[in-house]
């Protein structure tokens, strides 16, 4: 939804211009990148900048087409239809964001196909009704190829229905600005946090499913800014959320303690 406060976002390249061009041409977008790299924040920022309603749908393995499109509900003696979030967005011309689209059930992906090509229509099977998308409707999805590789991957035929936008972790100088901008922490602390993140990201031998994200760094900086000792903040906001393995926790903590 629109908010009065502008979401903080630090551009890393030409993503703002690409998004605006995609919106102007009604082209669906697929944001590709690891967890916590700024995909959702970027979308919140763009929706605010463009004055558009944002509808976010968190996909999981139980997300079905009915959850997106809508369903009949019994109210008293009547049976009434209730639009789902996708149908609402199609009608109102909102930006609809399918977060982690690969997690959704296959029938969900089939539902959006006609919205991602020249037809720009949504067929509601239960009502035998076809809805033409509002001119301002924009479909955006996110995908974590590193996490979902070999597990839940999008079919090439689905990926090719979207424009692709890459969201890797920002380069160090930009990531430092993001942490400072989000938390007001000192430049010195921000540099150390990014130094730690880069150290861990380049250690695949740790066997982490997910590595240190910008989101975790921001959370850590917020705790430090509130007065929590830096080593305790690192353990609480970064290390323990990453792993349950005691040896890995110890290795991560030792590296953090060396930097701080």
Q: Are residues 148 and 213 in the same domain?
A: no
For residue 144, the domain's CATH number is: 3.40.50.300
User: Which of 150, 166, 182 corresponds to the end of one domain?
Assistant: 166
Q: Judge if 180 and 152 occupy the same domain.
A: no
86-137 pLDDT, tens digit per residue, is: 999 999 999 999 999 988 888 888 889 999 999 999 999 888 899 999 999 9
Q: How many structural domains compose the chain?
A: 2
Do residue 157 and residue 178 come from a single domain? no
E strands present in the chain: 29-32, 54-58, 70-75, 78-83, 95-99, 121-124, 129-132, 138-143, 163-166
What are the structure tokens assigned to 48, written together? 């605010």
Reported as a single tens digit per residue, the pLDDT across 138-196 is 999 998 886 555 456 788 888 899 999 999 999 999 999 999 999 999 999 999 999 99
Determine the structural domain holding residue 237 and report its residue range: 172-259
pLDDT digits 0-9 by tens, 69-90: 999 898 888 889 999 999 999 9
Is residue 3 assigned to a domain?
A: no
Is 175 in contact with 214 (CB distance < 8 Å)? yes
132 to 44, 120, 227: CA distances (angstroms)? 25, 6, 53
Q: Are residues 125 and 235 in the same domain?
A: no
């Amino acid at each position: 939804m629109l908010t009065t406060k502008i979401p903080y976002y630090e551009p890393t390249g030409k993503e703002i211009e690409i998004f605006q061009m995609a919106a102007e041409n009604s082209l669906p977008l697929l944001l590709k990148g690891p967890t916590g790299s700024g995909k959702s924040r970027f979308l919140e920022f763009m929706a605010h900048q463009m004055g558009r309603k944002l509808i976010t749908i968190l996909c999981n393995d139980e997300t079905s087409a009915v959850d997106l499109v809508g369903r009949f509900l019994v109210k008293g003696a009547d049976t009434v239809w209730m639009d789902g979030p996708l149908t609402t967005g199609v009608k109102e011309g909102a930006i609809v964001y399918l977060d982690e689209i690969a997690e959704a059930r296959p029938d969900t992906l089939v539902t959006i196909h006609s919205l991602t090509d020249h037809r720009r229509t949504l067929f509601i099977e239960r009502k035998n009704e076809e809805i033409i998308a509002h001119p301002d409707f924009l479909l955006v999805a996110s995908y974590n190829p590193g996490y979902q590789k070999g597990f839940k991957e999008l079919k090439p035929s689905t990926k090719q229905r979207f424009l692709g936008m890459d969201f890797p972790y920002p380069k160090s100088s930009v990531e430092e600005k993001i942490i400072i901008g989000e938390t007001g922490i000192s430049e010195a602390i921000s540099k150390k946090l990014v130094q730690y993140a880069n150290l861990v990201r380049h250690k695949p031998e740790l066997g982490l499913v997910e590595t240190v994200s910008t989101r975790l760094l921001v959370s850590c900086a917020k705790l430090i800014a509130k007065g929590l000792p830096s080593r305790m903040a690192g353990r609480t906001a970064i290390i323990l959320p990453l792993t349950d393995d005691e040896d890995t926790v110890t290795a991560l903590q030792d590296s953090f303690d060396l930097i701080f």
